[in-house]
Chains A and B, each alone.
Chain A
Amino acid sequence: MADKQNIVRVLVGTRKGAFVLTSDHKREKWDVAGPHFAGWEIYHMKGSPADPNRLYLSQHTGWHGQVIQRSDDGGVTWNAVDNKFVYEGVPGTHQHYDGTLRPWEFKRVWHLEPSLTDPDTVLAGVEDAAIFKTTDGGKSWVELAGLRQHGTGPQWQPGAGGMCLHTIIVDPTNPNRIVIAISAAGAFRSDDGGVSWKAINRGLRSQYIPDPDAEVGHCVHHIAAHPSRPKVLFMQKHWDVMRSDDAGDNWHEVSGNLPTDFGFVIDVHAHEPETIYVVPIKSDHEHFPLDGKLQVFRSRTGGNEWEALTNGLPQHDCYVNILRDAMAVDTCESCGIYFGTTGGQVYASSNSGDSWNAIVRDLPPVLSVEVQTL
């Protein structure tokens, strides 16, 4: 657990630039720096646990495609590194929205996951779904092609946001174990450092695919795990909040008393592995909170029993969305919870969700939020 004198740095990716928010351990006053890379979509920005001043950032525009930036000084200065993401071999095909087959085509990087131990090693989740790795600080990227070449690849299809690999979780106790998720293919796990992969979707049921409990085809929106219990996974699926106690081999639903179990984000309290957070969204057709009330729901029992957290959040006329990578937690003694909205607000709670306030508002739509506790 971090001590009381921490600096907290919140890394916010938006549709039109990156912002770095900084505060002391009280988390009452925030310095806002940015926009960095103004006008670019910043899909994700994350710091290295091994060197917190080493940051990696994914920027993209429709005009100029993908760029990866790296900072070695905590986001003050940046340098472009390699942006060449080339699929290994002949890419093959996957399902398109209209049922036709389309060849794999690189579009953008959705998620960057720095190694827990080496600042130069990073995994990148991309659209069309694949995972890449750098071991030289971003100077070059190599595909871990065993995932895309999983036998089910031709059955994968894009969700509404594209066929994106958006979640990467590396087991802190066993770096060879990697869990990833793809919309709309499902969750996959490697136990050999990314060489081979297995689908881990048993227990998921999705009524929007022909076979509701098929091996693949599920639209997994996000997965979270507590570092102390890496085999316990929590998933926000398109509909349904799910839990696995065996690293994804089996899942069961823990939506319980949620008013709606559609949503995008899910995260785990930094010090309480059974305390989890979601932000329910009305439905797949209406991507905003129920009844115009922004509510975070917290379960202290690892799911099933949920309480609404509303203190400080707008309770009328709120029609924002919270995208899948836009929630994070700090590791201060009193755990901080953060999430960003498509309305440009970043809300924070410094008391595990009991009360909230907007630490910045009126940013461009927020795509991602990460937190560093320094």
Chain B
Amino acid sequence: MTIRVELPAHVRNLARVAERELPVTLEGPPTIGAVLDALEREYPMLQGTLRDHVSKQRRPFVRFFACEQDYSHDPPDTLLPDAVTSGREPLLIIGAIAGG
């Protein structure tokens, strides 16, 4: 399954991708954790920048939005909504307004 993921500017620069939105191919159930696994596999330099290396906890000033809902505080095995898995809507990975 391939979904659409939008990355914040700093992360795009770090990963050296120009596009605001990336296609991300998932293995297994479509969860936020699976999205992060796939991103870190494709772009190893992002390891540690969206979630902790060891605990895998989301960095405090990173947010996950989809379909006008905040998934940031949901467990990483939370399934993404159908609109995201079908490709109609992107998963937005956002730098929180307080982070800079």
- A63 near B48 with CB under 8 A, answer no
Interface residues of B in 9-40 (CB under 8 A from A): 9-11, 13-14
A162–chain B nearest beta-carbon distance, Å:
16
Indicate whether A83 sits within 8 Å of B10 (C-beta atoms), given known contacts A63-B96, A63-B99, A64-B62: no
Docked-complex contact A63 and B45, CB < 8 angstroms? no
Q: A84 CA to B47 CA in the complex, in Å?
A: 8
In the complex, identify which listed stretch (B53-61, B65-73, B75-83, B84-92) lies at the interface while the others stay far away. B53-61
**Are A61 and B54 neighbours in the complex by a CB distance under 8 Å?**
no
Interface SS of chain A: helix, strand, loop or mixed? loop
The main secondary structure of chain B at its interface with chain A is loop
Residues in A with CB closer than 8 Å to B59 are 63-65
Across the interface, A62 reaches (CB within 8 A) one of B8, B48, B50, B100, namely: B100
Q: For B14, give its contact among A62, A80, A84, A86 (CB under 8 Å).
A: A80
Using known A-B contacts A84-B48, A84-B53, determine if residue A64 contacts B100 with beta carbons closer than 8 Å: no
B9 / chain A contacts, CB cutoff of 8 Å: 39
Number of residues from B at the complex interface, CB < 8 A: 21
User: Most B CB atoms within 10 A — which of A37, A63, A83, A84?
Assistant: A63
Contact B49 A65 (CB under 8 A): yes
Distance, CA A66 to CA B45, complexed state (A): 11
Q: Tell whether, in the assembled complex, residue B54 and residue A63 are in contact, meaning their CB atoms are under 8 Å apart.
A: no
Whether a CB of chain B sits under 8 angstroms from the CB of A67 is yes
Residues in B neighbouring A56, C-beta threshold 8 A: none
For residue B45, which residue of chain A has the nearest CB?
A80
Inter-chain contacts of B48 with A (CB < 8 A): 65-67, 83-84
- Is A40 in the interface zone, CB < 8 Å from B? yes
Complex Cα gap A39–B13 (Å) = 11
The answer to whether B10 and A63 touch across the interface, beta carbons within 8 angstroms, is yes
In the complex, chain A residues whose CB is within 8 Å of the CB of B54 = 86
Task: Tell me the bound Cα distance from A117 to B34 in angstroms.
Answer: 43
Question: Could you say which residues of chain A place their CB within 8 Å of the CB of B11?
Answer: 64
Contact (Cβ within 8 A) A61 B14:
no
**Distance, CA A297 to CA B10, complexed state (A):** 40
Closest 5 CB pairs of A and B: A80-B45, A64-B49, A63-B99, A63-B95, A62-B99
The interface of chain B, by Cβ under 8 A from chain A, is: 8-11, 13-14, 45, 47-50, 53-54, 59, 61-62, 95-96, 98-100
Q: Can you report 5 residue pairs joining A to B where beta carbons are below 8 Å apart?
A: A63-B99, A63-B100, A67-B49, A83-B48, A86-B53
